[in-house]
Structure 1
Amino acid sequence: MFNAAKKLTQSDDPVTRSKVAIVDDTGSYTYAQLLDDARKVRGALRGNTIKGSNIAMLMPNGYEYAAVQWGIWAAGGAVVPLSPMHPERELEYFITDSDARHVICHPTLQANLKPVLERLGGTVQLMSSDEVMRTSETRDTKDTEIDENQRALFIYTSGTTGKPKGVVHTHASISAQVGALHKAWKWSTCDRLLHMLPLHHIHGIVVALYGALWAGATAEMMPRFDADRVMDRLIDGHQDITIMMGVPTMYTRLLHAITEMPVKRRQAASLAVRRLRLTISGSAALPTSIFNRWEAATGQKMLERYGMSEIGMALSNSAIDPASRAVGIVGKPLPNVNVRLVDADGTDVIDQPDKPGMIQVKGPNVFYEYYGLPEKTAKEFTSDGWFITGDVGARNADGFYYILGRQSTDIIKSGGFKLSALEIERELLEHIDIVDAAVVGIPSEEWGEVVAAALVLQPGRSVSINELKPWCYERMARYKAPKAIRIVATLPRNLMGKLDKKAVKAMFL
């Protein structure tokens, strides 16, 4: 990433040198400014023993986030991104688990950290971002020599099945991930990304922000997701946005915002979104209803892809062939990424159409380690070096992959059948009264497990299990239909909109 910026700023073309890298609520910033401010951060860190250290940062979404992150890299450190949305308990855990001894924090967020740092008794140094970016130590433009295989970025897992693990990526694995997406999604310097994702996860950091900056494109960053503000920007702003990325929950809210508009405004919204080159959804399975409603409202056929913290993105639908995108399909392997499907007997079933298997991945995109957990890291790889994702999927006759769910939470073993919770959720979301759904398996002496569903309903509506069963029987095999339901106001989700299936299952136990 840092080298990509230097290449842009060292160009003989003055237009290239003045290319805008990031736009936020405070203004527009060129790649030359970004590189210069990153070196200021490096200069402020120079007095500390930084090379090879893990440095935490707590910054709002915006230009300074990128400048601080690049500055840590320029000083030879690894970045541990924290989120303003994390409670104190999680902030403390991420700082201590990563062995961070420095935290660079924006002045507006220091109150979040104060009680944490007090409990840590002075073992962690707080550095204010406004101070490190004011340093004048930028005359020496010789950056710290960085080994591409050294630690670069920590991404903490959601922790829904245990304590969050620090997924460590190297400069090499990040470059491999972003380079593959650059080719697959045809990123160019002409692209302008509307960035509305949190910046503590692989989606917001690597796929979105790094994707734009690697290409020499422009990232227009919103401080947080706001559906009305997104639509106002697309309709009333310059028609220069080309790419938008989000999670299914965001697209649900955008659709709601569109449907609430007066007719003329709704038509303008449809035209504005239709102009985009790509709308991309990830981090959670996209419901059938949202895929279809988004296309009907905007003319955009959503591009879905598949990945996770440990591997970045591994599969993606085509950026240039919208007709090949379909509900539930996450595409084909990205450049230089190897994917195979392995059944319970250890047999590769990739050449058997629609045969389920564990998704295993190998390639330069795969993470380096779970920090401080060598045994856990080794356990997640096969003897021949494939990373075991824990997700079950299949490949259809045309070579496109689809995901059946997490083996631990989304594959329900009932009466000898292996059922996909994601498949059942997609069907339930077609019900006119169901707004959101989470399907889990609960223990049964007779069947091993039975299907249970937590449901969020339209306001003022009600659904009983006896009313739901006949509807389900028309759409799925009887053994897939829920045997128990709970009506809830909201479903438990993490900051990226991913369902917490452990908490859902607890509703029935």
Structure 2
Amino acid sequence: MPPLFPALTEAPADRPALRFGERSLTYGELAAAAGALTGRIGEARRVAVWATPTMETAVAVVAALLAGIPAVPLNPKSGEKELGHILSDSAPDLVLTAPEDQLPSPVRDLPRLDVDVDIDVHGTGPAPAAVEEHADESDPALIVYTSGTTGPPKGAVIPRRAISSTLDALADAWQWSGDDVLVHGLPLFHVHGLVLGTLGPLRRGGSVRHLGRFSTQGVARELAGGATMLFGVPTMYHRIAEAVTSDPDLVKALTGARLLVSGSAALPVHDHGRIATATGRRVIERYGMTETLMNTSVRADGEARPGTVGVPLPGVELRLVEEDGSEVGAYDGETVGEIQVRGPNLFTEYLNRPDATAAAFTADGWFRTGDMAVRDPDGYVRIVGRKATDLIKSGGYKIGAGEIENALLEHPGVREAAVTGEPDPDLGERIVAWIVPADPQSPPALAELADHVAQRLAPHKRPRVVHHLNALPRNDMGKIMKRALTHE
């Protein structure tokens, strides 16, 4: 197949490729470092990568891809039990690390290879093109483990074609080119930060500036310093939305950006509005998951419609289905169905889990995402939540938690909101709101919130119960962990 990173051999050697804090590599230096590392990992069948947000992680993953060796990114914040499961399941031959990394058990039991970038840039090794030309598009590139909310994490085997097709489809949708400089502060054990945020710029021949640790000051500095794009999750954009009211440097920097992209969870509509009001710029959203990489996006030349994730990307087929498997024919913005997708962006299997793989696909090859959505008449997709946790069946209606959460967030007394369902003898399920109040001393009452939602959406979508919290439980990517919300 064509190389994943043609710029390693075609771009000017002095063009900036990667920057993490004060450390940077040009394309020439990255080619030398990755080429040298491919020789050191040799005949490994599979390698783990201790995926800290560092230069070493980026070089390690690029080298593994060049060598045609599947890489397993490890979350440094995972507990020993989860790490043990991932390592026993994926059975890597060694772990690639930065020299200063302190590894926990059981990772330290693996043979360790330090990625010393400062040495490797001067090393010699196979030329990137000579190594990569032996790879096939169906070969596994990454094995990325899911969050494991319903059991032990499953290893999604992502082929090389999924990476290339997704990044090329996003290039089309976002007009992404080698002239773009991307800023992000995302983790590198997840497809958002690693595939989109790191491999994406390298495939285009552009550059990435990783903040190491996200801050609005860092965003302002890099966007003002020539960066053109920002990738973030809703938690990050929420902090930006709060900061733009008092930080003129941030406002100016965001105003000058070419593209602001949010993903991994829905960005609340009120945060969209606050950023747009302050900067005149709209944040666009896209939709994907570990098993599919990216499925849809608002296009750079399209309407940035808050609350939607745009239209299917080139090459991606998307349909909504009813519970009985029949396809939802109505693009009416109201009829809820489960998203199913098909295309070259899909994973090939769950490692060592043929049962789970078979259950994930329909007989005709569509992947069951478990996400519920509606489609507007022009094809825009609006996700209303997960089938398992966000679809509430109340009074004969199928209700998505997401739209209620957005409505609650428009109330001035609500800082954060999550919505779930709980059994109700009359309604089947009743709607429960979990609220972090703007003023803990004066939280909004149930009746006030119920009226607020009923006026914006419909009476049957109003919450029947409200719980006030100090904070909502979130994972590393900022997603609310609804299974951690209990009624006790």
> Taking structure 1 as the reference length, what is the TM-score of the superposition?
0.90
Q: Which amino acid aligns with 2:165?
A: A
Residue in structure 2 matching 1:23, options 19, 22, 47: 19
Distance 1:461 1:90 in 2: 41
Q: State the shift of 1:116 in Å.
A: 2.4
Which string of whole-angstrom CA distances, capped at 9 and with x for unpartnered residues, describes residues 463-483 of structure 1? Answer: 232443333333333322111
Provide closer, same or farther for how the CA distance between residues 454 and 9 of structure 1 changes in structure 2, counting only shifts above 3 A: closer
- The alignment status of 1:116 with 2:97, answered yes or no, reads no
| 2:197 and 2:231 in contact (8 A); partners too | yes
Aligned to 1:400: 380
Structure 2 spans left out of the alignment, 5+ residues: none
**Alignment correspondent of 1:101:** 93
Q: Aligned pair in 2 of structure 1 residues 201, 350: CA closer, same or farther (>3 Å)?
A: farther
- Give the one of 421, 427, 438 matched to 2:401: 421
Helix, strand or coil for the counterpart of 2:278?
Answer: helix
Match of 2:156 in 1: 167
* Corresponding residue for residue 8 of structure 1: 7
Query: Comparing 65-74 with 371-380, which one deviates more in the overlay?
Result: 65-74
Q: Is the CA contact (8 Å cut-off) linking 2:36 and 2:123 kept in structure 1?
A: yes
Does the alignment pair 1:129 with 2:110? no
Q: Distance in 1 between matches of 2:227 and 2:253?
A: 9
Alpha carbons of structure 1 residues 350 and 79: separation in structure 2 relative to 1, 3 Å = farther
Q: Which residue pairs with 1:367 in the alignment?
A: 347
| Match of residue 460 from structure 2 | 479
Cα deviation for residue 4 of structure 1 reads 4.5
Superposed CA offset, 1:429-452 (max 9, x none): 011011101100111222221111
Letter in 2 for 1:25: G
- The answer to whether the aligner puts 1:456 opposite 2:436 as a matched pair is yes
Instruction: Tell me the C-alpha RMSD between the 2 structures.
Output: 2.2
8 Å CA contact 1:454, 1:488 repeated in 2: yes
Structure 1 stretches of at least 4 aligned residues deviating more than 6 Å after TM superposition:
none
- Aligned with residue 381 of structure 1, among 361, 383, 387: 361
Q: 1:90 aligns with which of 57, 82, 94?
A: 82
More divergent stretch after superposition (144-153 vs 180-189): 144-153
1:212 maps to which of 193, 201, 214: 201
Aligned-partner Cα distance in 1 for 2:20–2:389: 39
Secondary structure class of the residue paired with 1:259: coil
For residue 160 of structure 1, what is the amino acid of its counterpart? T
Which of 391, 408, 412 aligns to 2:371? It is 391
Compute the displacement of 1:351 (Å). Answer: 4.7
What is the rounded CA distance, in whole Å, between the counterparts of 2:212 and 2:315 in structure 1?
A: 34
2:167 to 172, 178, 182: 178
Give the TM-score taking structure 2 as reference length.
0.93
- Residues 15-54 of structure 1: matches in 2 within 5 Å? 16-46=12-42, 49-50=43-44, 53-54=45-46
Structure 1: gaps (5+ residues): none
Where 2:450 maps in the other structure, the secondary structure is helix
In 1, Cα distance between equivalents of 2:364 and 2:62: 35
AA aligned to 2:272 is F
Work out the CA distance in 2 between the residues paired with 1:434 and 1:43. Answer: 55
Would the alpha carbon gap of residues 9 and 487 (structure 1) be closer, same or farther in structure 2, given more than 3 Å must change?
closer
User: After alignment, is 489-498 or 71-80 more displaced?
Assistant: 71-80
Q: Quickly say closer, same or farther: Cα 1:465–1:365, change in 2 above 3 A.
A: same
How far has the Cα of 1:132 moved from its partner? 10
Aligned twin of 1:255: 241
Percent of pairs with identical residues: 38
Three-state SS of the structure 2 residue aligned to 1:71 is helix
- Check whether the contact 1:342–1:358 (CA below 8 A) recurs between aligned residues: yes
Once the two structures are superposed, the pairs formed by residues 294-443 of structure 1 within 5 Å of their partners are 294-321=275-302, 324-354=303-333, 355-443=335-423
Q: Are 2:67 and 1:75 aligned?
A: yes
C-alpha spacing 1:30/1:117, structure 2 compared with 1 (3 Å): closer
